[in-house]
Amino acid sequence: MRYSIKSGAIEKVAADCLVVPVWGKSALSTEASHLEKVSDKALGVVIKSGDFSGKLGETSLLYKTSGVSARRILLVGLGERKKLNARAAAKMLEATAKAVAKTQSESAHYAMASVEITDRDTTWLAARVAQELEDACYRYDTTKSQKVTKPALKSLSITAPAGARRKGLEDVLKQGQAIGKAINRAKQLGNLPGNVCTPTFLANEAQVLAAKNKSIATQILSEKQMARLGMGSLLSVAAGSAEEAKLIVLNYQGANSSSRPYVLVGKGITFDTGGISLKQPAAMDEMKFDMCGAASVVATMGCVAELKLPINVIGIVAAAENMPGSKATKPGDIVTSMSGKTIEILNTDAEGRLVLCDALTYAERFKPRTIIDIATLTGAAVAAFGSQANVMLSNDDKLAQTLVQCGEESLDRAWQLPLWDEYQSLLNSNFADIANIGGPRAGTITAACFLSRFTEKQKWAHLDIAGSAWQSGAQKGATGRPVGMLMQYLMTQKA
Ligand code: BES
Ligand code: MN
Ligand code: ZN
């Protein structure tokens, strides 16, 4: 998609679709009342019909309007002025993007310069326009023999709000577009089936990314190399699978090489059967999404490089397939992690923490400023929060606060759970330093407690995205979360 800024009279814009906002209860926006005048009351006709009243996210199409160059006008409802905060505006922009994408328009112009968002500045809307549009134009058809028709839209322009600098607007459009595209990349990786998106496939994806971006270097560790490093925990997860595990390292350099990096670690279980502690068959297909943490890391790294952020960032993906097999790890088996700590594997379905702990130990060598792991780790996170929250736990209050704030800013929300010491004893083992499960209660917290044993020296946060990363049901599919939140975090950090 091409993005631009157009000035001049909106009725003269030669776009296939001209998007014009209307406030709730049919109160015409500045742009709408201007069009009403030049079009001989074309909008009034629609409004008087009662079919459209400007409710938030409501849309209505008008064709061949006299006095207007655009082929279509799309009226969009903004709802109540006082209630148009960022969250409402994003909903409105999503509905707008979907409505535009449904038409055959190849070009669209958003005439929304007068729209004020209660809790954001003027450039925010432009960035979000681009992000929502990219997001809404995503279609999955990779593994369908009948390709779906993609939205025809190729270019989008906006009217600059009064006082906004052109360069600033161009920058935020680019930013919103990059984030939207990264969200789509994460969705795409998540949606691919487990027989396509294997650890090797993910490693390949990382290599492609590095080939396309000079600022990214990549290193792929084989099982042999991991064995030499003593990653007995990560390797125990892959033991029952014919697919080779990979530790994928993406190294983005946007600052001086001496500048300590921000490190992201993603859970990349390309399919989670549960292993010998086999899962129930119902909805097991959804365990192809168990690499959505990894997908968010790969997509975020690509976005960071595209936006040339002036910091250093390292993305690590712990990729493996969790299968039962004659060589699979059995309940009661004890493995030694790279940290030297021994782990009693009481449930092979608690595999995410087993791959993450070795990746977290490996990350220490980069002397991270902060380290954030992203993982579809526990069903308990889904039970507690549904799809709304990225569930966050941290050993550093400041980092936790920053992440919650970044969640609010990006509308990709996080909510913190406690990491109190009192929970740690649930992981006691009679036979090893630590057990990999903490019983049926407080599952999201005990999973994080397990990880905390491997990040004692780091400023670390854990994002359990089991609920937020994909949707179940008829609209089943990956959501691309928490790319928005991770980008918000990295865009506001310094070298
Ligand atoms: N990938 C799952 C977590 C999951 C389950 C995400 C359901 C989304 C929906 C993870 O590997 C897992 O199986 N976790 C277990 C841990 C338990 C055995 C301690 C869980 O949550 O049931
Ligand atoms: Mn599992
Ligand atoms: Zn899993």
pLDDT tens readout for residues 348-376: 999 999 999 999 999 999 999 999 999 99
For residues 337 and 457, membership in a common domain is answered with yes
pTM: 0.98
Ligand 1 contact, 480 CB (< 6 A): no
Which tens digits make up the pLDDT trace of 35-82? 999 999 999 999 999 999 999 999 999 998 999 999 999 999 999 999
How far apart CA 322 and CA 339 sit, in angstroms, is 22
CB 150 within 8 A of CB 137: yes
For the segment 430-436, the average pLDDT, to the nearest whole number, is: 98
Domain region containing 397: 184-491
Minimal-distance CA residue to ligand 1 atom 13:
349
Asked if residue 169 has pLDDT above 90, the reply is: yes
Last residue of a domain, one of 104, 137, 170: 137
Q: Note the pLDDT of residue 163.
A: 87
Q: Note the pLDDT of residue 4.
A: 97
Per-residue pLDDT band at 162 (split at 50, 70, 90): confident
In 71-205, at which residue ranges do the beta strands (DSSP E only) sit?
72-79, 107-110, 155-159
Asked if residue 249 has pLDDT above 90, the reply is: yes
Sequence-distant (≥ 6) Cβ neighbours of residue 184 within 8 angstroms: 134, 135, 138, 480
How far apart CA 291 and CA 288 sit, in angstroms, is 7
C-alpha 477 – ligand 3 centre gap (Å): 17
CB 389 within 8 A of CB 383: no
Q: Which atom of ligand 1 is nearest to the CA of 352?
A: 11
Tell whether 449 is covered by a domain. yes
Residues paired with residue 63 on neighbouring β-strands, in sequence order: 72
CATH number, domain with residue 407 = 3.40.630.10
Sequence-distant (≥ 6) Cβ neighbours of residue 478 within 8 angstroms: 186, 187, 188, 189, 190, 191, 289, 292, 295, 469, 470
Name which of 473, 468, 472 is nearest 186 in CA terms.
Answer: 468
CB 487 within 8 A of CB 305: no
For residues 328 and 428, membership in a common domain is answered with yes
Which tens digits make up the pLDDT trace of 312-355? 999 999 999 999 999 999 999 999 999 999 999 999 999 999 99
For residues 96 and 195, membership in a common domain is answered with no
Ligand 1 contact, 351 CB (< 6 A): yes
Ligand 1 contact, 290 CB (< 6 A): yes
For residues 93 and 190, membership in a common domain is answered with no
Give me the percent of the chain exceeding a pLDDT of 70: 100
C-alpha 336 – ligand 2 centre gap (Å): 19
> What percent of the residues of the chain are helix, what percent strand, and what percent coil, each to the nearest 5?
40, 20, 40
Which tens digits make up the pLDDT trace of 90-124? 999 999 999 999 999 999 999 999 999 999 998 99
Q: Which atom of ligand 1 is nearest to the CA of 437?
A: 19
How far apart CA 264 and CA 49 sit, in angstroms, is 53
Catalytic status, residue 71: no
Minimal-distance CA residue to ligand 1 atom 16:
350
Q: Which atom of ligand 1 is nearest to the CA of 467?
A: 8
For residues 118 and 220, membership in a common domain is answered with no
For residues 105 and 246, membership in a common domain is answered with no
Name which of 345, 340, 337 is nearest 240 in CA terms.
Answer: 345
- Token match 């009403």: residue? 36
Tell whether 154 is covered by a domain. no
For residues 253 and 110, membership in a common domain is answered with no
* Three-class secondary structure of residue 192 per DSSP: coil
For residues 212 and 120, membership in a common domain is answered with no
Active-site entry in 72, 181, 288, 353: 353
Q: Note the pLDDT of residue 349.
A: 98
Tell whether 174 is covered by a domain. no
Active-site entry in 279, 330, 341, 459: 279
Last residue of a domain, one of 120, 137, 154: 137
The span from the first CA to the last CA of the chain, in angstroms, equals 31
How far apart CA 316 and CA 457 sit, in angstroms, is 18
For residues 190 and 48, membership in a common domain is answered with no
CATH number, domain with residue 43 = 3.40.220.10
Question: Which ligand lies nearest the alpha carbon of 318?
Answer: 3
How far apart CA 234 and CA 108 sit, in angstroms, is 49
Last residue of a domain, one of 82, 109, 137: 137
Minimal-distance CA residue to ligand 1 atom 7:
379
174: tokens are 């680019």
Asked if residue 478 has pLDDT above 90, the reply is: yes
Name which of 282, 366, 375, 280 is nearest 320 in CA terms.
Answer: 375
Domain count, the chain: 2
For residues 225 and 354, membership in a common domain is answered with yes
Name which of 229, 233, 489, 218 is nearest 370 in CA terms.
Answer: 489
Mean pLDDT taken over the chain: 98
Catalytic status, residue 83: no
Name which of 103, 111, 48, 41 is nearest 72 in CA terms.
Answer: 103
Tell whether 151 is covered by a domain. no
CA distances from 344 to 50, 269, 300 (A): 66, 20, 34
CB 376 within 8 A of CB 270: no
Ligand 1 contact, 350 CB (< 6 A): yes
Which tens digits make up the pLDDT trace of 460-474? 999 999 999 999 999
For residues 215 and 107, membership in a common domain is answered with no
Name which of 296, 263, 301 is nearest 457 in CA terms.
Answer: 263
In 337-411, at which residue ranges do the beta strands (DSSP E only) sit?
342-345, 370-375, 390-394
According to DSSP H, which parts of 120-165 are helical? 122-136
Q: Report the chain's C-alpha Rg in angstroms.
A: 24
Tell whether 147 is covered by a domain. no
**Bridging pattern class, strands 246-253 and 216-221:** antiparallel
Minimal-distance CA residue to ligand 1 atom 14:
378
How far apart CA 304 and CA 220 sit, in angstroms, is 20
For the segment 171-181, the average pLDDT, to the nearest whole number, is: 98
Q: Where is 169: in which H helix or E strand? A: helix 166-191
Look up residue 411 and give its DSSP letter.
Answer: T
